Structure formats: C-alpha cells, structure tokens
A and B are shown apart, each in its own frame.
Chain A
Amino acid sequence: MPFSARHFDGLSSAARAVRVVADAGVLRLLREDGEIHIPLSRARIGDRLGGAPRVIYLEGAGELHCDDHAAVEALARRLGQGRMAARIFRLESRAWIAMIALLFSVAAAWLGLRHGLPLLAGVAAALVPPGIEAGMGKQTLAVLDKLVFLPGALPAPRQEALRQRLRAVCLKAGNCPAWRLEFRGGGKLGANALALPGGTPVMTDELVKLARHDDELIAVAAHELGHIRHRHALRQGLAGAGVVLLAQILVGDLGSIGDLVSGLPVLLLQTGYSRAMEREADAHALALMRRTCLPPHRFADILRRLDASHPGSRAAVTLFSTHPETRERIKVFQVQELVTRGC
C-alpha cells in the first residue's frame, strides 16, 4: 500500500515529498523528478511513540518521516520488525495499564526498599573481602578517635581481664567472629558500645562504669559481636548507597528535586534497617548467653540502666530512635530468663 512521506537524504536538510511503495524486496521512493530504490533489508522502522510522526531509517540513504501510522505499521509487520516496540506502545496507550503500572511501581518501590535492598546489600557485602572491611574498621576508628572518643582511662589489667572473660565465653559458645575489643572514653556518646566493621567492638569507659556485673559487659559485647558477625555496618552502608542510586536511575527525570524528596525516605529506611539489625544482634547475644549459661537478665539490666542514663532518647523519639523500643527488647530477655533452665 503506497503512502506519502517526507524524505531527507542524510546529506542535506532539504525535505522532499515522496510516495513510498513497498515492492518485492525494494522500497521505491517516487519523486516528481524520478525514483529511488532502496533494498527493504536496509530499512529500519523507528518505534512508535505517542502521536509523533514515524521515522523510517534508510541505511545510507537518509530517512523518511511519515504521519500515516497504519501504513508504517503494515510495512513493519511485513518486515517482521518492531514487534516488541509495538507491544510497548500498546502498553503506553491505555490509561488502565498506566494505573496498574503506577500501583505496581509504588508497591515495588516500597517492598524493594524494605526487603529487597537489604537482601542485595547482604549479597554485595559477601563479595567484599574481609581485608577491605578490616581496613574500613581501622579508618572509622581513627576518625572516631579524632572526632568523638577520648583516650580510654580504664587500667590495662582491667581491660585485659574483660578480654579474657569474653575469650573464655566465646570459646565455650563457639560462634563468635574474630574480634578485637577496644576501650575508649565515650565523650559525647557517654555510656555506649559500638561495632566497627571488620571485627572491632568498642566499649566506652562510661559503660564499664555503669555495669554492676562483668556479665553485663559480656552480654553487651555479645550483642556487638552479633553486629560484626552479620557485617551490619557494611550492609547498612551498601543499602544506603543503593537507595540513592536506585532513585536516581529509576526515576531519572527528577534531577535535583529528587534529591530533596528522596532524603527523608532514605533516613526513615536507614532507621528501619537499623531496627532489624538491632533485633538480629540481640538474637545473637541471647543465643550466646544461653549456650554459655549466662543469665539473660544481665543484658536486660544494663539495657535498662543505659536507657535511664540517656535521657531525651526515650519515649518521645521512639519513631526515629535507632534502637527498637528498649522496653520491648528488655521484655524479650526477661521472658527468656523464665525458659532458661538446665544450667
């Protein structure tokens, strides 16, 4: 079926009106002053997009622009081209499919960020060699030493005794990752403990002072070892970077507005991840304590005292606080206390 089109020869910007006839094996462009023949094998039909004119690219002979969509579709079918593109065009043409795509995108974004990304981060973390992770830990400690921590005031024998105790517990439990326990003055952090990537739990002097029993400190160390064992610091870093990247790549159109808007969800998700990670670390501490016959209430005790020593980080900010509500966590350890028997 012949159709009208505008021909550009690719050499100049001149437009020429032509009639296009698809014959056996050739595309004939009929002009007032003659005829051009182009082998059909050299014609590539451009994808249909909205109401835009269709373009047929003629290898080495410029292009045809045409408003007769039916004729171009017929030619594409005949050439066996653009089936996929035609399908995508049909998807883009229907309002109800757009609605489904919208609902799907929102749901997928939510699920993907909530569950998919942490999973991916876990897989990616497994690919990071332990040596690099250890290097990261060393760097982080150096930065914290400069910005937050004060030199530790805990006497060396006391430090060594605690390390000795943890070593003994780990030997008995058998599921500790490699670790190097460090002690520092807490500075702004006060009584606290943290797990740096690569196997370095750090306790502040204030925390040691807060404890009324060494087993409380062992319980905290077991919690931090849980973070280390599951490589939480690394996974969180990877997941955070992933959120920003995904937003950029998928939406793409947002530009700088996107950065503004994506900042908050990133923050919320980060806290969400951290809560799941705290629970995982708690579970590790609990398992270790039960295996070594340490009473679980030791962890609950120090947690309660920690909670009291950090006023301001209580009920009012539970939504944003990194640790799951402390009362809830304490309850878990108290319930376990009742079922822990046979030691």
Chain B
Amino acid sequence: MAEESRIYPFQFTGNGGEYFRIWIVNLALSVVTLGIYSAWAKVRRKRYFNNHTLLDGHNFDYLADPVAILKGRVIAFGFFLAYALAQKFLPWVSLVLLALFFLATPWIVARSLQFNARNSSHRGLRFDFRGDLGEAFRIFVGWGLLMLLSLGMALPYLLFRKTAFIAGNHAYGATRFDFQGRAASFYGIFMKASLIMLAPLVIIFAGGITLASLDHEGPVGMAEMIGALGMGLLLLYAALPVVMGYVKARVARLTFLGTRIGALGFAGRHTARALIGLYVSNLVLIVLTLGLYIPWARVRSARFWLNNLAVVGPEQGLDGFVAAAGAGLAATGAEMAEAFDVDLGIA
C-alpha cells in the first residue's frame, strides 16, 4: 500500500448476562412450542452476535428467514430419524445412508456456507459465498479420504485447501475476498503441535524407563506402573486444549494474514496463549455450572476473536463497496450441517 492506511477495529459489544437471558427465554419458548419456535430462536441467537459486532462503528446483521430454517430442520430431522432407526434395525441401509451422507458432505458444506453468507450483511450489503462444488468435493471427499489413508499426514494440506476454499470464495457485495497462503506454513503449525502432543508420551516413556531402572528388589509394583500411566493419560488430556488452542490461533493468524478484500487486509493479534486460556477456563466453568455457563462462554469467545481483529484499509474509509445481485436460498444445507455436526472449522 503506497497510500496512508488506517486501522478499523472490530468490536463485540454483547454481554454474557444479556445473552444468557435471550438464550434461556428462547429455549423455554422452543420447549413450549414443541420445537417449532427453535428456528426463530436460532435466528435471534445468530442475530444477537451479528448485531453486536461492530466494524468501524457499524454493526453486522443476520437476515435469515426462520421459515427456511424450519424447513431445513424438518428435512434434516427426517434424514436423521431414518438413519437412527436404520442403525438399530437395518444396518445395511444405515451404511448406505452414511455413504450417501459422506458423498453429500461437500454440497452440505457449500450450501451451509452460502446460506450463512447470503444472510449476513454489513452496511446494507450482503455477503456471498461462491465456492465451486467441484472444489468442495475434492477437499471434503478426495482429500478427506486421502487424509485417512495417509494416517493424518495429509491433514495440514487438507486444512490449507479448506482455508483457501472458505476464505477465498466469500464476497462482500460485488467484491470477492482473496486468499494467498502456502501449504508449508500449515505443515509448520502441525509439526509444532505434534511436538506438544508428544511431550506427555515422552513423560510416560521416561517414567517407565526410570521405574524399570530403579534399584529395587522384585518386579516393579503394579501401583507405580498404573500411577505412571494415569499421570501420562492425564497429561495427554491436558495437552488436548493446549494443542487445539495452539493450532486454531496459528491457523487464524495465517488466515487473517493471507486474506484480502479489495484494498483491505486483516490484522489479528490472537495469541495461542490467550486462546488456550479461554478454552480451558470455558471448559472448566461449563462443567462446574452443568452447562449454564455456555452463553457466557460464547460471548467470551466472540469478544476474544473480534476485539483482537481489525481491518487495515485506505484512509478514506470503508465506503467504497458496491452491491451484487443476490437471491434467497433454502436452509437445508445449513441445517444438515448442524444436525450432523459437520465441523466447518472456520477460525
């Protein structure tokens, strides 16, 4: 950028208590209406987050039609019911359904991204997702299978392609996002992550050797053995949020660094340390409060991601984007993704 540039910060203005009230009241209303209201509740929840997200002082919006979401839920509900019953009574049919679902994943993911993007807006302009179904198929089916075959060695590459697919195919109004990155950087992240994962294993191993080489009479006590194993297992569990936080923070950094839209770039200052702290404290509090902390946890995450993110752009402001012609979209993809818990993994 030759010209002067300016930083436009994101800001999340929601608070946990307020979101808790919205969450629980809408949950109760969903119960009263035997689940029908849940589509409206979902729109309200999503809108709460978008409406309380400000960029340069202007909020985002969520415009989805609850009726479209309700339809999607009914379809996903039917499919899931068929699957659950087949699993119990007709295992062959359930395997066929599972294979069909696997093959449909790219479509579901692309539709879900599209539904979400087209129903999100900012400054009166809608977002869009224009990812190509063929590429979605290559990533989620082709590379997904390859990842399994390579025992995870292809995972960083898969994540790279996925990040490029998601970050590079969104559009704001008529302007497309662009993502530039290298697969090697993703491999770098995963190398370090596996080192963190390895530490507890090393400790177990070292513990074992120490026990074996200790000067003792008779065999090593069973209790010591189990103790060392238990410690190692505990460390392994403790390492999990650390590794997840590390990977997610680093991938987010790569994503923000590599993504541009028009003359704008992104600047994030999400540290792995802060994200790990967030994960661990959220998890502990959710367990201690039997799940009641979930709304606060969601608000805290939103605050972490948004308050540490900014758009870097030209001095004259963010007024220069224009609209594209857009159309409505059925919600089936999005709801299928939710019902089956497809992790879209957007940082």
Residues of A within 8 A of B (CB): 6, 8-15, 46-47, 49-53, 55, 62-63, 65, 88, 91-95, 97-98, 100-102, 104-105, 108-109, 112, 135-137, 139-140, 143, 197, 233-234, 237-238, 240-241, 244-246, 248-257, 259, 261
In the complex, what residues of A have CB within 8 A of residue B292's CB?
A: 102
Within 8 A of A (CB), among B288-347: 291-292, 294-295, 298, 318-323, 338-339, 341, 343
Q: Select which of A135, A139, A248, A250 is within 8 A of B338 by beta carbon.
A: A248
Do the beta carbons of B122 and A13 come within 8 Å of each other? yes
Q: Taking CB as reference atom, which chain A residue is nearest B91?
A: A143
**Smallest CB separation, A207 vs chain B (Å):** 24
Do the beta carbons of B323 and A12 come within 8 Å of each other? yes
In the complex, what residues of B have CB within 8 A of residue A52's CB?
A: 13, 47-48, 51-52, 59
- Let me know if B14 is at the binding interface, CB within 8 A: yes
Task: Given A52-B52, A55-B61, A98-B25, check contact A140 B321 (CB 8 Å).
Answer: no
- Let me know if B132 is at the binding interface, CB within 8 A: no
In the complex, what residues of B have CB within 8 A of residue A100's CB?
A: 28
A102 to B291 CA separation, bound complex (whole angstroms): 12
Do the beta carbons of A13 and B89 come within 8 Å of each other? no
Within 8 A of A (CB), among B251-310: 286, 291-292, 294-295, 298
**Smallest CB separation, B68 vs chain A (Å):** 16
Q: Taking CB as reference atom, which chain A residue is nearest B282?
A: A257
Could you list 25 A-B pairs, sorted by A, with CB under 8 Å? A8-B124, A10-B125, A12-B320, A12-B321, A12-B323, A13-B122, A13-B124, A50-B22, A51-B14, A53-B59, A55-B61, A63-B124, A65-B59, A98-B21, A105-B24, A105-B28, A139-B89, A237-B85, A240-B88, A245-B80, A248-B338, A249-B38, A250-B31, A252-B42, A254-B294
Do the beta carbons of B341 and A139 come within 8 Å of each other? no
- Let me know if B27 is at the binding interface, CB within 8 A: yes
**Smallest CB separation, A34 vs chain B (Å):** 18
Q: Mark B81-92, 1 if CB is under 8 A from A, else 0.
A: 100110011111
In the complex, what residues of B have CB within 8 A of residue A238's CB?
A: 81, 85
In the complex, what residues of B have CB within 8 A of residue A240's CB?
A: 84, 88
In the complex, what residues of A have CB within 8 A of residue B28's CB?
A: 100-102, 104-105, 108
- Let me know if B123 is at the binding interface, CB within 8 A: yes
In the complex, what residues of A have CB within 8 A of residue B22's CB?
A: 49-50, 92
**Smallest CB separation, A260 vs chain B (Å):** 10
A47 to B123 CA separation, bound complex (whole angstroms): 17
Task: Given A12-B320, A13-B321, A250-B35, check contact A237 B88 (CB 8 Å).
Answer: yes
Do the beta carbons of A252 and B41 come within 8 Å of each other? yes
Interchain residue pairs A-B with the least CB separation, the first 4: A8-B124, A241-B84, A136-B89, A52-B51
A39 to B75 CA separation, bound complex (whole angstroms): 39
In the complex, what residues of B have CB within 8 A of residue A250's CB?
A: 27, 30-31, 35, 38
In the complex, what residues of A have CB within 8 A of residue B295's CB?
A: 253
- Let me know if B77 is at the binding interface, CB within 8 A: yes
In the complex, what residues of B have CB within 8 A of residue A257's CB?
A: 286, 294
- Let me know if B118 is at the binding interface, CB within 8 A: no
Q: Taking CB as reference atom, which chain B residue is nearest A99?
A: B24
Between A and B, how many residue pairs show CB distances below 8 Å? 175
In the complex, what residues of A have CB within 8 A of residue B90's CB?
A: 135-136, 139
Do the beta carbons of B20 and A15 come within 8 Å of each other? no
- Let me know if B101 is at the binding interface, CB within 8 A: no
A233 to B85 CA separation, bound complex (whole angstroms): 11
Task: Given A13-B123, A92-B21, A105-B24, check contact A197 B51 (CB 8 Å).
Answer: no
Within 8 A of A (CB), among B21-73: 21-32, 35, 38, 41-42, 44-45, 47-48, 51-52, 58-59, 61, 73
In the complex, what residues of B have CB within 8 A of residue A15's CB?
A: 58, 123, 319
Q: Select which of A50, A102, A104, A234 is within 8 A of B14 by beta carbon.
A: A50
Do the beta carbons of A241 and B85 come within 8 Å of each other? yes
- Let me know if B245 is at the binding interface, CB within 8 A: no
Q: Taking CB as reference atom, which chain A residue is nearest B40?
A: A88
Do the beta carbons of B25 and A91 come within 8 Å of each other? yes
A183 to B61 CA separation, bound complex (whole angstroms): 64
Q: Select which of B14, B73, B89, B319 is within 8 A of A12 by beta carbon.
A: B319
Q: How many residues of B contact A (CB 8 A)?
A: 63
Do the beta carbons of A10 and B323 come within 8 Å of each other? yes
A129 to B125 CA separation, bound complex (whole angstroms): 51
A53 to B338 CA separation, bound complex (whole angstroms): 28
Q: Select which of A13, A101, A140, A249 is within 8 A of B320 by beta carbon.
A: A13
**Smallest CB separation, A259 vs chain B (Å):** 7
- Let me know if B187 is at the binding interface, CB within 8 A: no
In the complex, what residues of A have CB within 8 A of residue B73's CB?
A: 249
Within 8 A of A (CB), among B129-179: 172-173
In the complex, what residues of A have CB within 8 A of residue B291's CB?
A: 254, 261
A94 to B29 CA separation, bound complex (whole angstroms): 15
Do the beta carbons of B47 and A14 come within 8 Å of each other? no
In the complex, what residues of A have CB within 8 A of residue B35's CB?
A: 246, 249-250
Q: Select which of B25, B45, B89 is within 8 A of A140 by beta carbon.
A: B89
**Smallest CB separation, A50 vs chain B (Å):** 5
Given contacts A245-B77, A250-B31, 15 further A-B contacts (CB under 8 A): A8-B125, A13-B125, A13-B172, A15-B123, A47-B47, A52-B59, A88-B26, A91-B29, A97-B21, A102-B28, A104-B31, A139-B91, A245-B84, A252-B41, A257-B286
- Let me know if B18 is at the binding interface, CB within 8 A: yes
Do the beta carbons of A92 and B341 come within 8 Å of each other? no
Q: Taking CB as reference atom, which chain A residue is nearest B17?
A: A95
In the complex, what residues of A have CB within 8 A of residue B89's CB?
A: 135-137, 139-140, 197, 233-234, 237
Q: Taking CB as reference atom, which chain A residue is nearest B290?
A: A261
**Smallest CB separation, B337 vs chain A (Å):** 11
A135 to B14 CA separation, bound complex (whole angstroms): 53
Do the beta carbons of B42 and A108 come within 8 Å of each other? no
In the complex, what residues of A have CB within 8 A of residue B45's CB?
A: 252-253
In the complex, what residues of A have CB within 8 A of residue B48's CB?
A: 49-50, 52
**Smallest CB separation, A7 vs chain B (Å):** 8
Q: Taking CB as reference atom, which chain B residue is nearest A94?
A: B21
Determine which residue in A94, A100, A105 has the highest number of CB atoms from chain B within 10 A of its CB, and name it: A105
**Smallest CB separation, A82 vs chain B (Å):** 13
Do the beta carbons of A259 and B31 come within 8 Å of each other? no
